[in-house]
Structure 1
Amino acid sequence: MRKVAIVVGHTKDSKGAYSKWLPCEFEYNIQAAEELKKINPSLYTVYTHDSYLGGYYAMEKRTADTINKDSFDLTLELHYNSASPLAHGTECCYWFASKKGKEYAQKISLEVSKHLDTTNRGTKALYNKNDRGYWFTYLMKAPAVIVEPFFGSNEFDALKFQDPKKYAHVLNEIISTL
């Protein structure tokens, strides 16, 4: 892997999921992204979305336009899930027509779940513009994967991810094998 774009999901004004045990989704993933950049500054470039102004598609389009000016081998958008306290596990999403995206999503989901002892929920192919995350995976030139490593609403999942730096090191280890 030569160059990876890391996109922090959500924005500083709309921070995504919340957890009783961790920083909110945006703040948690900013920390993980910054750690990835520290680990290997020549491999990772970190991006954040500006705002939801104009809606989700408009935000993802602006981000994709910026990222697509450069040449990347992989683009990851970092998130975490939140649902019922019983929901748990790791999953990744990709655009259905991207063979490399599917391959990377499968590997990342499997390896994150192994390294951090979560249930591997596998991958989800995104087929149409109404699927959550579709525009991120569709608009990027490089294979794009949305990483949802745990449920912040599940205490046992969240406690396994208390340290975003540890999570970043796990991601780096996985990416180095892609």
Structure 2
Amino acid sequence: MKKIALIVGHNEKSKGSYSEYLKISEYDFFKKVLDKLFDKYDEVFNLDDNFIKNIKDHVSLFRVPNTGYSKEMTEVVKELADKKFDIALELHFNATASHNQHGNTVLYWHKSEEGKRLSDLFQDIMTKKTGIRKLDLIQIKSLDQNGAYGIIKSKCPYILLEPFFGDNKTDTDKISVELMAEVLFEFLNTINDVKVPIEQETDLKKENEKLRTALLNAKNIIDGALR
């Protein structure tokens, strides 16, 4: 099972773009999304609350306010390496000065085949579940580009998600915290080939144990790297 880091864009002091339609910043939106995401794991797989919280604490990364973006991101990249994550997802939403753009896109390192594969997969799921259209993917080739630091500096495949424009009603009418959590839930399970139990087709207990074992293995590897 891939160890996937979920990095909330921006931080508690610099919260990123604010959506007048959703009445929330990027940072606060994705903090709520992560809460709903792990509630979804609890709901679908019927896992123990403490177990879910423990996993959430291990895979959720936050930029700790420092003297600037580069220093904050240096610590994030170090944590990715120390905990031996296989994949990193940085979570944002988009905005423009003209407020006339809408759609979803992903930023990835232009030479990363895995980054491209994950980006395409995310867009497929995002559009299927929300109806928010696909825009061209954004290839990162230089540190001068916005959002490039983690993508270039990390050792694992790292993609930056821009699932919608928070300043455009076309997109915000199609999204919510709950729906964004559902998109990530399907995306993560697809990456790791975890089947969501269907009562008529699947033994729930068997799938629970499969997921529990995989998550524990990921947690133990991260814990071992920190010792």
TM-score in terms of structure 2 length: 0.72
CA distance in structure 1 between the aligned counterparts of 2:117 and 2:179, rounded to whole angstroms: 24
Identical aligned pairs, as a percentage?
27
Structure (1/2) with the larger strand percentage: 1
Measured after TM superposition, the shift of residue 52 of structure 1 is 4.7
* 2:128 aligned with 1:114: yes
Measured after TM superposition, the shift of residue 67 of structure 1 is 2.1
The one-letter amino acid of 1:27's match is D
CA distance in structure 2 between the aligned counterparts of 1:39 and 1:73, rounded to whole angstroms: 23
The one-letter amino acid of 2:20's match is K
* 2:114 aligned with 1:100: yes
Asked which structure has the greater CA Rg, the reply is 2
The one-letter amino acid of 1:15's match is K
How do residues 127-146 of structure 1 correspond to structure 2 at under 5 angstroms? Answer: 127-146=141-160
Q: Please list every run of 5 or more consecutive structure 2 residues that lacks an aligned counterpart in the other structure.
A: 42-51, 192-227
Indicate if the aligned counterparts of 2:125 and 2:186 stay in contact, CA closer than 8 A.
no
Match of 1:65 among 78, 89, 92: 78
Q: Please list every run of 5 or more consecutive structure 1 residues that lacks an aligned counterpart in the other structure.
A: none
Indicate if the aligned counterparts of 1:95 and 1:137 stay in contact, CA closer than 8 A.
yes
* 2:12 aligned with 1:12: yes
CA distance in structure 1 between the aligned counterparts of 2:84 and 2:40, rounded to whole angstroms: 20
Answer with 71-80 or 32-41: which moved more. Answer: 32-41
Indicate if the aligned counterparts of 2:9 and 2:62 stay in contact, CA closer than 8 A.
yes
Which residue number in structure 2 is paired with residue 177 of structure 1? Answer: 190
How do residues 45-84 of structure 1 correspond to structure 2 at under 5 angstroms? Answer: 45-53=59-67, 55-83=68-96, 84=98
Q: SS at the partner of 2:14?
A: coil
Cα 1:150–1:76 change in 2 (3 A) is same
Write out per-residue CA displacement over residues 85-134 of structure 1, whole angstroms, 9 at most, x where no aligned residue. Answer: 32000000011222111110111122212211111003111000101111
Which consecutive segments of 4 or more residues in structure 1 shift more than 6 A? none
CA distance in structure 2 between the aligned counterparts of 1:3 and 1:109, rounded to whole angstroms: 21
How do residues 157-172 of structure 1 correspond to structure 2 at under 5 angstroms? Answer: 157-161=171-175, 163-172=176-185
Which residue number in structure 1 is paired with residue 216 of structure 2? Answer: none
CA distance in structure 2 between the aligned counterparts of 1:20 and 1:104, rounded to whole angstroms: 30
Cα 1:93–1:52 change in 2 (3 A) is farther
| Aligned CA-pair RMSD | 1.7
Question: What number of residue pairs does the alignment pair up?
Answer: 176
Structure (1/2) with the larger helix percentage: 2
Measured after TM superposition, the shift of residue 141 of structure 1 is 2.2
